[in-house]
Amino acid sequence: MTVHNLYIFDRNGACLHYSEWNRKKQAGISKQEEFKLMYGMLFSIRSFVSKMSPLDMREGFQCFQTSRYKLHFYETPTGLKFIMNTDLSVPNARETLHQIYSTLYVDYIVKNPLCSLGDPLQSDLFSARLDTFMKNLPYFNPRAA
């Protein structure tokens, strides 16, 4: 079990934060390109999912997986998007992503008047807390499985 990386996007598609832990292979393009690609894909998949849904949709798109990794997606009603890539054995991570939002982003970014919302996050405190939070996740450690 392990966590590969985490993206936070704002409602306009700007990448506010990116961090990675056990990522063995890079995309081979610049980070800016990668963020754009990721956001574009999420935007399309979200609208695809809501258009094709045969039932009234509440939560929408939550995750997808390939043969090697699983992408977890959580969006707040304000349009902030949290994306975490993990390996396949990690169960539904919505609760974790919600916690990153409610206990880390809101407390250290939104409530910090010096952090202007919509700019890439530069708070060291936030980064440090996020790192600790992620490393304490039961499925963070690759050897725990």
Partner 1 sequence: MSRQSNRTTDNKKMNSELFTLTYGALVTQLCKDYENDEEVNKQLDKMGYNIGVRLIEDFLARSSVGRCQDFRETADVIAKVAFKMYLGVTPSVTNWSPAGDEFSLVLESNPLVDFVELPDNHNVLIYSNLLCGVLRGALEMVQMAVDVRFAQDTLRGDNVTEIRMKFIKRIEENLPAGDE
User: Can you give the binding site for partner 1, defined by CB under 8 A?
Assistant: 11-14, 36, 39-40, 43, 58-59, 76-80, 99, 101-107, 110-111, 117, 129, 133, 136
**3-class SS of residue 138:** coil
Q: Closest separation between CB of residue 68 and partner 1, Å?
A: 26
CB 28, min distance to partner 1, A: 19
- Least distance in angstroms from the C-beta of 43 to partner 1: 5
Residue number, 92 or 103, with CB nearest to partner 1: 103
Report, in Å, the least distance between residue 12 CB and partner 1: 6
Q: Where are the beta strands (DSSP E) in the chain?
A: 3-9, 15-20, 63-65, 70-75, 81-86
CA distances from 104 to 6, 27, 28, 112 (A): 14, 28, 30, 11
Query: At its nearest, how many Å lie between partner 1 and the CB of residue 77?
Result: 5
Output b/e per residue, 60-97; b: 16+ Cβ within 10 A.
ebebeeeeebbbbbbbeeeebbbbbbbbeebeebeebb
Residue 11 or 68 with smaller CB distance to partner 1: 11
Q: State both tokens at 122.
A: 């530069």
Nearer residue to partner 1 within complex by CB, 43 or 64: 43
Looking at the Cβ atoms of 78 and 122, the one nearer to partner 1 is 78
